[in-house]
Structure 1
């Protein structure tokens, strides 16, 4: 059977009152033309109108007015009439053409002036209808789709209903209905005003769309990025929020809400306009508000059209490895701020932390959900969730109260999880144990004793992997012997050899013998670099400047160093502990640990040398002359004693007065004042920063490295003196170097192919003894000079710090109101004074 196309015919039945008993229309309503007739254009055939010049007689003016009102009823529906028609340049099938109407020349001038005002309603109706249809597309997002719905709803339920129920009804049933009545009714019902407001909204959105289409998105992205850096450098908490500064080509989400909010501000004082716009804003913001609630209450981000202030950078990742999914970088970068369309209430420029709290609330809830492996978080049913309207939420302090409520809930849930289920304090103590040797001195001593030879050897990249495997093997054997089930850090601990020496690593954090403060570290080494970075004009220029800075900061090794300068501990902190113990904190742990290991190593090296210099038979030999005993043997022992005291005093001071004091203060302060996760995170970083910025590991570090080098050379010189001391005494020479006693010769541990079997007194007096005196005096004097320079620097640091503290108290006493700040500052000065006194004795 052949199927033929059937043309559908639709008729609009507006009201049962419009039908007679047979079912036919008595008088087709004007609204019916929108369905039953195609819009006319200048190219369509026109009906022949009755000439208006034949109705110019005053007695016929009512007829002319009635015809004009009839036309206006068509015009305000976006259709043309008999005497008011589309302009020849307008086509109703075009999306971009603003409708224009032309009025019959012979129409009465008084009617014509009113027509010009009423015609605007028809123009607005056409524009709003087309834009609402256009913006209903999915690509414009939920917010703009919702605005389109509200426009259509207003046109259908308010505007068209007013046309049919009021204007058309008056026209049909009121014989005295005039064109002035027509206009007055539209004004009395605020129809014109509301249509104009909707048009203003749409025109502003349309303008924003056009600007976004025309702009250079790459350059705008860069400009926003630089402005964001400047903004966040002034952020009061010192926190850097990761943001997406790119601009979308379509205005949606928060951009639409900002346009509506700005329009409300422009119409302040007009009660009708404000109420109407607030109603529209509350309706348009429904989906945005739902996304905000979902994020704050459940940590869920339901944003399929990318219009919310928070964005998920891993949203489009099909598969995410467990290492990446639970890594600390995910915490920093998975959920970030979308700057495009960010509402003014969440701006960073005014120093508000609302945006930070909103971001952190959802992130913390995600940590809890991932840790417990749950989909839905419980909500306290005894406390009802109050959901004010969007407009009310943004007014007064409602927003702060609302955000704080959910921010505190998220922090409480997270802290309870960390302190009760993950025993956070115990975990941090374990890190302190293995990185700083806290209550773990025996393990550290065993490690140094077992690996002293390898740690003393000069580092070589050729032996890198071999030594690393050996160190790790010794650590694994230690793990098996201890078998501490509760020590998760020991299980995760690895020993590695860094490719950079400790001097080079620390130097990256030091600028002009001072550590860079946290606000500057985000930009570079100092204010000069930060200012120069802000002068970049695009991403390419910025990249070149950063690469140049990195290249200029590269340091060449001044000398070959022993392996101890390259060894470090590595622990991959498991999720969710890595949220608090961040990668930044672990780098700080490593640097502090490497410094304490250096101190422990040189202390052990001097201890081993003490046995050599005090217990070896050659050093204890009483047959040396008084000159040798006083100027070589005794002087070496005195120099060794001073070196040993220097290292042990600094080690004790740094371990007890700096590390232990700061870590204890951190735990005590966090227990009392740590009400949220960021407090714990920042307090830990501040604690580690205080340890790192202590004068020993900052201002005086380079001087210590020079002293360590002198100690290393001195110990090496001491261990090589056995054979030389035998060469300056005939009895020792005959006992150890004449090969009469092979075992005694082996004790010398020297192999010389050109062996001498006869004591050479002349060589001993003229060459060997002067050389020993020269090296002994040189080592002693070099150490004393460097030690004096260290003491001078220490005194300078102490007096400068004390003066700065007094000045700060005088200038801003409120800064020292915190007991934690006062105690830390006072203890730091007191402990530094104790170090000076201990080293000066």
Structure 2
């Protein structure tokens, strides 16, 4: 809202103002009497009479010699210096003069003329003769943004004083607004504050133009009076009041109790700069410090954060909404919102059109963690690059989590508004996620070295405002363009779908021939300890296995590598569960506390076998590493190791079955043959008769236990492969065919892996504990194939001692007891989770129940 400017009417009045001699004499006489009265108080009455006489002589056509003000440079350059004294006791002197001056005996028309001249100065924030600064005013202690208060000479006529007191707030408003402009024009307050100050300064220019016109009317119009001054000025009172209230709220929002007259708190000192430089050199600069605070769950106080950026726009918008019934307020605040929001909109346009974040004063809703770069993708098991490289300053995510995050400033003590750039303007609250994603997508494309073509629908020079519908159309178009461009890059140019299919084939063992062949070739190496096994040899055997198959994904075989994990699968899974999930881990599986793993191995004196730590890795380049990231590769590795362990135990039990088809296990021992072979010993014959049924019973129970274990392993492997992985993969393929956004693609892929982990029972501590005991029992039993064969040979050849027979039964009974106990516990856990949390386990309950029935 521009201040009201009076204009001369061209209706029935003259275009050129001319005064008759009588009118001019009346004006000059009134002004001369006012000045005469004032100068009499200072004992300069004769000087005033001389000047009035000279002025009268001038208008009478007589010559006169009045010294010109041109000789006084200070008056020519700054005419208002005539009202401003340079002495240190100016305020005290003025107050003393005000006490000595009394208007009781001054005529009313003279009082009005005196007060009119004073008002023209007071409206500019300059103290007058009859209108003084308030007695409590102190320039050194008072907050300049609150403005200067004025008081009127008590002896002024009440009828005049009433009207004057209506005009006095304009002086307060003007001084407060001027102080705000001067203070907030500092660089540290950002571009939005600069634009706001420029807009307010333009409005003050109109106000100053109005005052100059009023001064002209005061000097040359005989009809100009206090009433006319009020008539011209009263619309501006409301306008400046609105601006003053806004500046007051902006000036006190960061710290209502602080003295805003000093900007030293906003300007970094030399010592602070030196300390920051040292911190950066030590690797604990502000950016990394914020990251550490984020990791440790520490918050950031809003104290000391200036009101800038989005917070300024939010305050303007909220005031506009609260005063929506006032047309003047709507117009003023809408203008200020449009002008102040121009740099904010410009930064948003640059972000959503090019992916570049140009925000030197941290005013935008998007922030960048510069210490997180592409290189972190090679070791990032928490997806930091995508999740934390660019984020919203208010900490909100697409998942809708409202928990306060570290590194996010706390709300202001009054009103609960986030400070600075973390405060998102209400007009953009619903668009913040699209704004973030649009820039993130383009940033990825730009880092691939691909030139970004700007949308042809909108010109770069086209200007928008936040309350313009075209601006939101522009944001929607920019988001759609960025999303489709990156999606096309991933799906078409980078062959994402074939990559995922090769991952599924290598890690989910859908082609059993590949894994069986590899396990057969590397069986000798897998029996060694993790330290002794040769990664080079295992990698060569893997390549040999892959090259024997003719598949369409031949080009991706070089990306598959053999690695050794630092700990066992189930220990690692229990560690993940205890820390809250895979996403909360700070290190990868291949870097799983190597020192801790070595310490555990040293304490237990049981080094891990290569078969327990073997895993596959898969390497892709940027930008595919966003989708096939270390975060997702870790999940693939966990599923692969789970299936590999099952396959390895199944193969071991199969080898045990083949060995138990040999002669010592199939040969029948007849009692008669034993008696005839040693007819002289009835004692030995009686022993043979008593031991034959026992040996047959032991052998039968070994066969039965092996068969139960093999059935259990095969049922788990079949369930995981055909009822978990394959159906979920088909569901993922359907989603990938319909995917429309990059974030949906990332989310669907991660959800697929998490679902597979959950349905494979790798996310429940109770299920893992029981399953681990079972699988260890089965693997250990398979390792006893050779000792059992040796015991059977000794039993048939009658060389087995009573101690050997006892130990043979002791081992068998232990295996049976452990397997039966943990099988029962595992089945109970599966039934519980199938009925309460994970209904996908119901088919496994049926499979395990059938094993239980057959064994009974």
The two structures share one fold, judged by TM-score above 0.5: yes
- Tell me what 2:497 maps to: 425
Deviation string for 1:465-505 (max 9, x for gaps)?
76556544644666788898955653233333222221122
- Conservation of the 8 A alpha-carbon contact between 2:365 and 2:392: yes
Name the CA shift for 1:50/1:831 in 2 (closer, same or farther; >3 Å): closer
Residues 1:368 and 2:469 aligned together: no
- Tell me what 2:567 maps to: 500
Residues 1:444 and 2:515 aligned together: yes
Residues 1:667 and 2:733 aligned together: yes
Q: Tell me, in whole angstroms, the C-alpha distance in 2 between the residues paired with 1:493 and 1:193.
A: 74
Deviation string for 1:199-239 (max 9, x for gaps)?
1111112112435969999xxx9xxx9xx99xxxxxxxxxx
Residues 1:300 and 2:356 aligned together: yes
2:330 aligned residue (274, 284, 295):
274
Deviation string for 1:631-674 (max 9, x for gaps)?
233332332222222212221221122111111111112313x2
Residues 1:206 and 2:236 aligned together: no
Residues 1:409 and 2:458 aligned together: no
Q: Tell me, in whole angstroms, the C-alpha distance in 2 between the residues paired with 1:496 and 1:124.
A: 73
Q: Tell me, in whole angstroms, the C-alpha distance in 2 between the residues paired with 1:245 and 1:680.
A: 36
- Tell me what 1:159 maps to: 207
Name the CA shift for 1:324/1:662 in 2 (closer, same or farther; >3 Å): closer
- Tell me what 1:252 maps to: 308
- Tell me what 2:680 maps to: none
- Tell me what 2:467 maps to: 391
Q: Post-superposition shift, 1:622?
A: 4.1
TM-score, normalised via structure 2 length: 0.70
Q: How does 1:86-485 map to 2 (within 5 A)?
A: 86=133, 96-97=143-144, 98-156=147-205, 158-165=206-213, 167-187=214-234, 190-211=235-256, 249-314=305-370, 322=375, 328-339=383-394, 340-341=419-420, 342-343=422-423, 354-374=431-451, 376-381=452-457, 389-392=465-468, 403-439=475-511, 441-457=512-528, 464=531, 467-468=534-535, 471-472=538-539, 474-475=541-542
Q: Tell me, in whole angstroms, the C-alpha distance in 2 between the residues paired with 1:344 and 1:789.
A: 53
Quote the RMSD (CA, aligned, Å). 4.6
SS of the counterpart of 2:655? helix
Name the CA shift for 1:412/1:555 in 2 (closer, same or farther; >3 Å): farther
- Conservation of the 8 A alpha-carbon contact between 2:647 and 2:717: yes
Name the CA shift for 1:678/1:245 in 2 (closer, same or farther; >3 Å): farther
SS of the counterpart of 1:78? coil
Aligned residue pairs total: 690
- Tell me what 2:683 maps to: none
- Tell me what 1:233 maps to: none
- Conservation of the 8 A alpha-carbon contact between 2:366 and 2:393: yes
SS of the counterpart of 1:150? helix
- Tell me what 2:703 maps to: 637
Q: Post-superposition shift, 1:276?
A: 1.0
Name the CA shift for 1:490/1:75 in 2 (closer, same or farther; >3 Å): same
Residues 1:574 and 2:621 aligned together: yes
Q: How does 1:803-818 map to 2 (within 5 A)?
A: none
- Tell me what 1:604 maps to: 651
Higher mean alpha-carbon deviation, 689-698 vs 88-97, is at 88-97
Name the CA shift for 1:831/1:356 in 2 (closer, same or farther; >3 Å): farther
Q: Tell me, in whole angstroms, the C-alpha distance in 1 between the residues paired with 2:525 and 2:581.
A: 36
Higher mean alpha-carbon deviation, 100-109 vs 38-47, is at 38-47
Q: Post-superposition shift, 1:149?
A: 0.9
Q: Tell me, in whole angstroms, the C-alpha distance in 2 between the residues paired with 1:307 and 1:695.
A: 47
TM-score, normalised via structure 1 length: 0.71
Q: Tell me, in whole angstroms, the C-alpha distance in 2 between the residues paired with 1:363 and 1:205.
A: 32
- Tell me what 2:685 maps to: none
Q: Tell me, in whole angstroms, the C-alpha distance in 2 between the residues paired with 1:696 and 1:771.
A: 36
Residues 1:618 and 2:676 aligned together: no
Q: Tell me, in whole angstroms, the C-alpha distance in 2 between the residues paired with 1:600 and 1:214.
A: 73
- State the structure with bigger RCO (CA 8 A, min sep 6), 1 or 2: 2
SS of the counterpart of 1:568? strand
- Tell me what 1:535 maps to: none
Residues 1:701 and 2:750 aligned together: no
- Conservation of the 8 A alpha-carbon contact between 2:133 and 2:151: yes
Q: Tell me, in whole angstroms, the C-alpha distance in 2 between the residues paired with 1:247 and 1:295.
A: 29
Q: Tell me, in whole angstroms, the C-alpha distance in 2 between the residues paired with 1:325 and 1:728.
A: 58
Q: Tell me, in whole angstroms, the C-alpha distance in 1 between the residues paired with 2:708 and 2:102.
A: 122
Gaps of at least 5 residues in structure 2 are: 1-15, 19-58, 60-65, 267-285, 395-418, 587-595, 672-691
Gaps of at least 5 residues in structure 1 are: 1-15, 230-240, 525-549, 731-760, 806-824
Deviation string for 1:232-255 (max 9, x for gaps)?
xxxxxxxxx999886653221011
- Tell me what 2:714 maps to: 648
Q: Tell me, in whole angstroms, the C-alpha distance in 1 between the residues paired with 2:534 and 2:711.
A: 31
Deviation string for 1:729-779 (max 9, x for gaps)?
34xxxxxxxxxxxxxxxxxxxxxxxxxxxxxx5x73633334323433443
Q: Post-superposition shift, 1:836?
A: 4.7
Q: Tell me, in whole angstroms, the C-alpha distance in 1 between the residues paired with 2:118 and 2:768.
A: 91
Q: Tell me, in whole angstroms, the C-alpha distance in 1 between the residues paired with 2:313 and 2:140.
A: 30
- Tell me what 1:719 maps to: 786
Q: Post-superposition shift, 1:40?
A: 1.0
Deviation string for 1:284-306 (max 9, x for gaps)?
11111122222223322121111
Q: Tell me, in whole angstroms, the C-alpha distance in 2 between the residues paired with 1:622 and 1:91.
A: 116
Name the CA shift for 1:85/1:729 in 2 (closer, same or farther; >3 Å): closer
1:595 aligned residue (639, 642, 660):
642
Q: Post-superposition shift, 1:684?
A: 1.5
Q: Post-superposition shift, 1:308?
A: 0.6
Q: Tell me, in whole angstroms, the C-alpha distance in 1 between the residues paired with 2:97 and 2:809.
A: 129
Q: Tell me, in whole angstroms, the C-alpha distance in 2 between the residues paired with 1:292 and 1:243.
A: 27
Structure whose alpha-carbon radius of gyration is higher: 2
Residues 1:36 and 2:79 aligned together: yes
- Conservation of the 8 A alpha-carbon contact between 2:143 and 2:259: no
Q: How does 1:515-554 map to 2 (within 5 A)?
A: none
Higher mean alpha-carbon deviation, 121-130 vs 253-262, is at 121-130
- Conservation of the 8 A alpha-carbon contact between 1:309 and 1:338: yes
